Amino acid sequence: MAPLRYRFLAQMVDSLISGLIFIGVFYVLSEAKLDTESIRIYSLAFAVSYYLLSDSLPKGRSLGKWIFKISVIDKKTGAYCSLVQSLFRNLLCITLGFIDSAFILGKKRRRLGDLLARTIVIKDR
């Protein structure tokens, strides 16, 4: 299992990346002279999409996980995190926030999203 500090730091990096995606898309679309509401919606959609699907990037690593050399894998098969698993595990993080993350402090050291998606986070080999 990956150390909690690496998981936390990777989460912070991914949150920062999502924020930068939001700002970048907002800026680009502002130059295209779209209405403000559309710009917000598109910017949020791109930022949230990265956050939800990033664990399905190669080797089950979001960019934050890549930096800290940790990966998300299927608990049963050991296969890297799929697109669907990434969506399920991160959707709960967005919707339930602290409640989802509090589960990591339990005996199994798995977030509620990990339990739902049947994944674990490991230190890379």
- Average pLDDT value for the chain: 93
Cα–Cα dist 70/99, whole Å? 23
For the segment 56-82, the average pLDDT, to the nearest whole number, is 97
pLDDT band at 101 (very low <50, low <70, confident <90, very high): confident
Tokens 């989802």 belong to 100
Q: Quick check: 4 pLDDT over 80?
A: yes
pTM for the whole structure: 0.88
Cα–Cα dist 82/90, whole Å? 12
